[in-house]
Amino acid sequence: MKPLTRGRAAEVAAPPAAPGKPGLEVSPLAVPFPVIAPVGGVEIATARAGFYKHDRADLTVFRFAKGTTCAGVLTRHKVGSAPVDWCRRHLDAEGGGGDVRALVVNAGCANAFTGKAGADAARRTASEVAKRFGCRQRDVMLASTGVIGVVLDDKKIAARLPDIEAGLDADRPAADQWTAAGQAIMTTDTFPKGSYAECRIDGVKVRIAGIAKGSGMLAPDMATMLAFIVTDAAIAPPVLRALLGVHVRTTFNSVTVDGDTSTNDTCLLFATGASGAPRIGRVGDRRLKDFSAALDRVMLDLAHQLVRDGEGATKFVKVTVDGAASPASARKLAKSIADSPLVKTAIAGEDANWGRVVMAVGKTDEPVDRDRLAIRFGPHVAAIDGAPSPAYDEAKMSAYMKRPEIDITVDVASGRASATVWTCDLTKRYIEINGDYRS
């Protein structure tokens, strides 16, 4: 779907309504939900628990085969939610992630900043699911998203568990299960986000599937709000943790919509072992090469979709910093550009105001050679050797800025390190969406 351009709104039909919050139009940067093949060892069901006033599914439950392993990357926010605390405690415990049997996700209530009452509600939810699935409470992972400061009404979840069990036992195509799950975890998202890949471990085909939600309050660390990835490979928890640690940095932790980190950010990776591929128990096992690359593709795809659904976004923006003194410096510089409201509003206005990029670079205190600084928008050079480019062409630059996808590259001429961050523009719709978030 192409974004609307100025003066042509009347000529283009309005996008369809989003399946999430009523009144939201689907992002012009949306991508289709993929067809996901069956991943052995997992079933998914959704239901309406009633956390929203309008009629929509807001409860998702994954049931995993016995022996499923799990690892997670969780928010570094100082006011983490009750579900985040629950997952962190059990995944970090001795033997944590060694036999995870379920994942329960609700939308519409974050259960964050809710004290002991929220923690008790999370524990009761895990207990109810554990009784039905014949496992320990610690083997149930939890995730919530929605309004902060409201205690989760766990009775609403318990009341829907019979329907959830019936759905898990039903013969429903895997593609439909994943699509329904992608929709049920949405809040202000305007389209469900999914990704799928296949690879081989020691010659055996394995599958990787994932969903994510998020459109605002997206910034490291980590910046998914919620992401759940399942593979039928057999991989030990320490290896899963290492893989997540490697790939989160350049995927979910390299996207930003508004610079705000959520209290509930959670990324969980599950390995059911149902593919029949040999179990991988060592981080440096060479047989993981293909799997690691496929996992990175899935995570980066999901991360990009989060940015494409940035609240009110009309531009998908890639910011690359080259010539930095260190990878950390490059990342900080790139994020300064990507998070700048002045840069983001200029992009929304289709104005190649590279002076704002200079501002965002210079305010970081990172090493920058001012007299060798260079800036490009796509193939067009805006500045070189610390001054406006002699070949600068305003007409070509203006035409480029009308594109739905924009690349900004900055060379700070202080070293050899590079980093890339993805972001979106900042429009009036962002204010409108967040101005009535609770209504």
Known catalytic residues?
224
DSSP 90-153: HHHSTTTTSS--EEEEEEEE---S-HHHHHHHHHHHHHHHHHHHTS-GGGEEEEEEEETT----
* H-state helical runs in 194-326: 237-248, 289-308
What are the residues whose beta carbons fall under 8 Å from the beta carbon of 137, sequence distance 6 or more? 123, 126, 127, 130
SS3 361: helix
Q: Is 438 helix (H, G, I), strand (E, B) or coil?
A: coil
Cβ(21)–Cβ(13) below 8 Å: no
Q: Give CA–CA dist 239/252, Å, rounded.
A: 19
| Contact assessment for residue 363 and residue 387, using Cβ atoms and an 8 Å cutoff | no
CA angle 22, 111, 168 (to 5 degrees): 70
Collapse the DSSP code of 417 into the 3-class scheme (helix H, G, I; strand E, B; otherwise coil) and give the result.
Answer: strand
- The residue assigned the tokens 């919530």 is 144
- Contact between 195 and 231 under an 8 Å Cβ cutoff? The reply is no
Q: How far apart are CA 423 and CA 409, in angstroms?
A: 13
Residue 392 CA to residue 389 CA, distance in Å, equals: 5
Closest of 322, 245, 230, 331 to residue 283, by C-alpha? 245
- Could you tell me the two tokens for 33? 């939900």
For residue 374, the surrounding DSSP H or E stretch is: strand 374-377
